[in-house]
Chain A
Amino acid sequence: MASVAQAIRMALHYGETNMGVKDIFGQDVGAPLGGVFTATQGLKTAWNSPLDERGIISMAMGIAMGGDRCVAEIQFADYIFNTIDLLKIAGNTLWCTNGQIQLPMVVMTPVGAGIFGSVYHSHSFDAWASRLPGWKIVMPSNPLDAYGLMLAAIQDPNPVLYLKSKALMRHKGDELIPGEPADEKELKAMIDKPVQNSEGWKPRWPGLEEYIVPIGKGKITRSGEHITVVTYSRMVHLCDEVADKLAQEGISVEVIDLRSIYPYDWQMIKSSIEKTGRVLFVNEDTEVTNFGEHLAYRATQELFYQLMARPRVLAGKNLPGIGLHPNLEKNSVPQVHDIELAIREVVAEVP
């Protein structure tokens, strides 16, 4: 099975071969490195930009304005903050021009904790991103979605932020990408640059096929009756793990992988809450003004009389940063036991 990094690489290859992507660029995105997580290794249109986040976003805007498709990368979301007014402009350009100027561009960037990356390699960006009207925002949790959401992002005529979890880059899923060889060693031999003697290396791409995960559509990863857990990206796996554990005790947890932050799959959330009467929103961004708070607010407004317990948000602590030592990181962003505890509390609550 492909890793998330390999899935992104294959999606970008499909994009540049079949969907008109002409530039994949950012710091260290081109040869020789092919991205710090190898997600752009071996791509024919990948090139290295100057170390300039604002320049990267501006170039992407200009390329999109000029009529070409591009995928730009900010090496770590932790460094995207100095581009926030450019992201704002990119998001408002269509609106400000009364529908005249489209910016079909993709910006991808690794987000979140889980790699012990300390203060400046652990930032989340989902809540910030959700405040950028005009953008669509996706956050895949597995390789197949990583592939399908990238193709959807490339295809979309609007700017799309593709937030990829740093901790999931080496994660392997349990579903094959259409066209991917079943043997992961075979895939590795085809598309991974050799660590040594890589001079003149070129990838041999498998016969990939189009596979689109529609932006705005979530996925139920665990069906359940007692509580709905709404999450995305890395936290999906933690929530699934807890759901599996609690299932053995007879606590039935429904886990929704939202996959898209904006637009988001409210109908899926709504029908699940109507079924379970209880909901927990889980993500690792900071808890104050968290995207989960918006969903909890909406759940309260629209489903108040169907709720059996108070909606709850479990998120990262509202701290200036995430400390390097594992004791600090693990006490800053939700862990398996935090999720388990929160689920138990919500399930135990009686109106």
Chain B
Amino acid sequence: MSKKTTVKAGSKPAAKKAAKPTAKTAVKTSKKTARKDNFGGLSEDILLRMHDLMVKSRVLEERLIKIYKAGEAYFWIGGPGEEAFGVPLGMLARKGQGPEYDWFHLHYRCTPTLLALGMNMIDSIRLIMNRSTDPSTGGRNFANHYCFPQWNVAPVTSPIEVQYPIACGTAHVQKRAGKKALSIVTGGDAGTAEGDFASALILASRKGQELPVLITVQNNKFGISTPFEGQHGETNIADRAKAFNIRSRVINGNDPVETYLAIQEEMEYIRKTGKPSFIEAHVSRLYGHSSADGANKKAHLVDPVVVFENRLLDAGILTEKAIKKIWEIYEAEGIAAQEQARQEPVPTGESVWDHVFVGNENADWRKF
């Protein structure tokens, strides 16, 4: 994150202003209301960082949709609506490379988490615009198929749910390393129908061989166009974890405060016990599944960024002016990033044989 776009630069002064609201800063509610909402005891700094990253994530995702709709990308898929879940997840993890740090096995709705880890907006834009400068795939894969080995971010895969049991593999390595690190896996509600989801529950929970995995499901109530009720008999997906003696809970994933506290608690449990934990988070899918179904905003759904923003306004922690500034900064950053990415090189045709094998070892049978 550049200094220009950090919360510290953009919103700290606003928080100070909020202590003495004026007509100019247009704080909507009284101090009395603010005192009522104690945000679970989270510090103002955490709240402001969460808000800043949520806005950044939303602006970025909307920028990606615009890039797709402008014909500068072939496909969009992403996670606007999951900011209140993804941002706290990224903020709370132990970030780094190697088994002593947390591993991330994420799905393609994970932009908020990646931004919270420190990804620059332009790196997501390079990915959707298939530039060779795209640090995740070198222009080889779809939007949001991130990979950041320096933060233990495993490659996002197109087949859904395969990331769940793979997470058990990294958790196995982490457990052996004995550094109290954990593997985090995210995915959607529809994908839990895949057998890989059951594989993960089994592998993570074997008696005496439990694995430090934070298993999460972001339940947005849809599998592309099939509603939750059309493919689930269980009341809560989290109930399935109970059958494996995995501690589980259902949370409102549209509330960053509830999410932050829940993830924090579950991570502490996993680090302490070495056992898995399960969180089902209810979230909104604000722009549909992908460009395949239009990627248009669903106005009837809860918008977690707006709701949280209003709470912060009501509490006097943010001002409308400060909020406006944050959105403007990220809009400008997104546009500049798109313009820059446009100028950057694309993969060459000859590079198709690169990285089939480690060290660019010859993979072309014509040359054996």
Task: Please report A residues at the B interface, Cβ cutoff 8 Å.
Answer: 22-23, 49-50, 52, 54-55, 58-68, 85-86, 89, 93-102, 133-134, 136, 157-158, 216, 262-267, 298
Contact = CB atoms under 8 A, between A and B. Distances in A.
Contact of B356 (A23, A94, A97): A94
A89 B166 CA distance: 11
Contacts of A158: 357-358, 361
A134 B356 CA distance: 5
A264 B165 CA distance: 32
Interface string B166-192: 111111111010000001000000000
Given A66-B174, A216-B368, 20 more contacts: A52-B199, A52-B203, A58-B164, A58-B200, A59-B166, A59-B172, A62-B167, A65-B166, A65-B169, A65-B170, A67-B99, A94-B356, A96-B155, A97-B155, A98-B134, A101-B155, A133-B356, A134-B357, A136-B357, A264-B365
Interface string B257-268: 000000000000
A97 B137 contact: yes
Q: Give the interface centre of A62, A101, A102 by most chain B CB atoms within 10 Å.
A: A62
Nearest to A64: B169
B25 to A, nearest CB: 46
Contacts of A98: 134, 136-138, 140, 354-355
Contacts of A266: 365, 368
B201 to A, nearest CB: 10
Contacts of A49: 203
Contact of B162 (A86, A94, A99, A265): A86
B176 A62 contact: no
B196 A54 contact: yes
Contacts of A298: 365
A66 B355 contact: no
Given A52-B202, A55-B203, A61 B169 contact: yes
A64 B183 CA distance: 14
Nearest to A216: B368
A89 B162 CA distance: 9
A63 B358 contact: no
Interface string B105-146: 000000000000000000000000000001011101100010
Interface residues of B, number: 49
B203 A59 contact: yes
A89 B171 CA distance: 19
Contacts of A55: 165, 168, 196, 199-200, 202-203
Nearest to B154: A65
Contact of A66 (B103, B138, B357, B368): B103
Contacts of A63: 169-170, 172-173
Interface string B71-105: 00000000000000000000000000011000100
A133 B356 CA distance: 7
A249 B162 CA distance: 57
A136 B368 CA distance: 14
B172 A97 contact: no
A68 B176 contact: yes
Nearest to A295: B365
Given A54-B195, A55-B202, A62-B170, A95 B147 contact: no
B240 to A, nearest CB: 16
A133 B357 CA distance: 9
A89 B363 CA distance: 17
Nearest to B141: A96
Contacts of A23: 172
B368 A265 contact: yes
Nearest to A264: B368
Contacts of B172: 23, 59, 62-63, 66
A75 B136 CA distance: 35
The 8 closest A-B pairs by CB, nearest first: A62-B169, A66-B173, A98-B138, A58-B165, A55-B199, A99-B355, A157-B358, A266-B368
Contacts of A22: 176
A157 B359 CA distance: 9
Contacts of B99: 66-67
Contacts of A94: 355-358
B168 A99 contact: no
18 contacts: A50-B206, A54-B196, A55-B168, A55-B200, A58-B203, A59-B165, A62-B168, A63-B173, A89-B159, A96-B145, A97-B147, A98-B354, A101-B155, A102-B358, A133-B363, A158-B358, A262-B365, A263-B365
